[in-house]
Amino acid sequence: MRKKLVVANWKMHGNLALNQQLLSAYLAQLSTLNEVDVVVCVPYPYLYQAQQILQNTSIAWGAQNISKAEVGAFTGEVSAAMLNDFGASYVIIGHSERATAYCESDENIATKFIQAQKHGITPILCVGETLIEREAGVMQMVVAKQLDTIINTYGASVFAKAVVSYEPIWAIGTGLAASGEQAQSMHEFIRNKIAEQDIEAAQSLKILYGGSVNPQNAVQLLAMQDIDGGLIGKCSLSAKDFVEICFAAAQSNATAQLIKF
Ligand code: 13P
């Protein structure tokens, strides 16, 4: 069984004092929760702070973007090697808030994905459709296209050491999460798509759900067969909510075990 993974995406929130409080509260309540992997993706300037507080604990840390380039004259960019300097083990790639605001192409996102892996950092690739696309019934086509650029360029095997996060754009920050069935259906589609080319990669791939996950809906979402965890925005800024979501992930593991035996 794939171990559940819960990732906090702080987006552009936080400051030194608040981060210290939040991370300490996470640690106080999550350090004994061995059934779930927990990661915090912080803004770049706080990577050092995250490293200082989280090293040698059960919580890993990462960033929210990287440059597609190795090194060079790219003002304002941050490379995968720089993330390594601060012990980051995950990076979010292609989040819709970046893809729309900074016009990221699927090609750019694919290059960033590989660049992260090249440096031993696990990419968390975000995919998902807009409300108009869902209403038009083309959501699977949209997500397939987002995956295809990577599959066609690098092969499906690269997903063996990656995370995909299904984040329907209409669910992000709206309080309107996808239902368990809607999310499961897309997660199954994603896993099957990878399995068409590489069954082992599809089996080990963790597929997270992101978009208005909260302590109330987490149990139902995370109990779905192909939902391996969550990418949490707003609720990661409250230690209480985030911890409850992590415990819901552990509980859904236990529920799955009960069903299995
Ligand atoms: P919310 O949890 O605030 O909807 O954000 C989801 C998200 O964008 C995670 O990357």
Mean pLDDT (the chain, rounded): 95
* Percent of the chain whose predicted confidence (pLDDT) is above 70: 97
**233 CA from centroid of ligand 1 (Å):** 4
Residue 9's pLDDT is: 98
What is the DSSP secondary-structure string of 67-121? -SSSSSS-TT---HHHHHHTT--EEEES-HHHHHHTT--HHHHHHHHHHHHHTTP
**175 CA from centroid of ligand 1 (Å):** 10
Residues with CB under 6 A from ligand 1: 9, 95, 167, 172-173, 210-213, 231-235
Q: Are 99 and 109 in contact (CB under 8 A)?
A: yes
Please report, for the chain, the start and end positions of each structural domain, with discontinuous segments joined by +.
Answer: 4-260
Name the closest-CA residue to atom 2, ligand 1. Answer: 233
Residue 252's pLDDT is: 87
| Two tokens, residue 68 | 């597609």
**235 CA from centroid of ligand 1 (Å):** 8
Tell me which of 124, 125, 234 to substitute to probe ligand 1's pocket, judged by most ligand atoms within 8 Å of the beta carbon.
234
Residue 176's pLDDT is: 96
Measured CA to CA in angstroms, residue 247 lies from 37, 218, 243 at distances of: 11, 9, 6
Instruction: Report pLDDT digits (tens) over 50-63.
Output: 999 999 999 999 99
Homologous superfamily, domain 4-260: Aldolase class I (3.20.20.70)
Residue 5's pLDDT is: 98
The residues that bridge with 229 in the sheet, in sequence order, are 5
**260 CA from centroid of ligand 1 (Å):** 31
Residue 1's pLDDT is: 81
Instruction: Report pLDDT digits (tens) over 219-256.
Output: 999 999 999 999 999 999 999 999 999 999 999 876 65
At 259, is the pLDDT very low, low, confident or very high (cuts 50, 70, 90)? Answer: very low
What is the DSSP secondary-structure string of 129-184? --HHHHHTT-HHHHHHHHHHHHHHHH-GGGGGG-EEEE--GGGTTTS-PPPHHHHH
Name the closest-CA residue to atom 1, ligand 1. Answer: 233
Q: Please give the number of the atom of ligand 1 that sits closest to the Cα of 96.
A: 8
Name the closest-CA residue to atom 7, ligand 1. Answer: 233
Q: Please give the number of the atom of ligand 1 that sits closest to the Cα of 231.
A: 9
**pTM for the model:** 0.96
Q: Which of 162, 221, 234 is nearest to 191 (CA)?
A: 162
Q: Please give the number of the atom of ligand 1 that sits closest to the Cα of 171.
A: 4
Instruction: Report pLDDT digits (tens) over 148-179.
Output: 999 999 999 999 999 999 999 999 999 999 99
Residue 253's pLDDT is: 73
Instruction: Report pLDDT digits (tens) over 106-145.
Output: 999 999 999 999 999 999 999 999 999 999 999 999 999 9
Catalytic positions: 95, 167
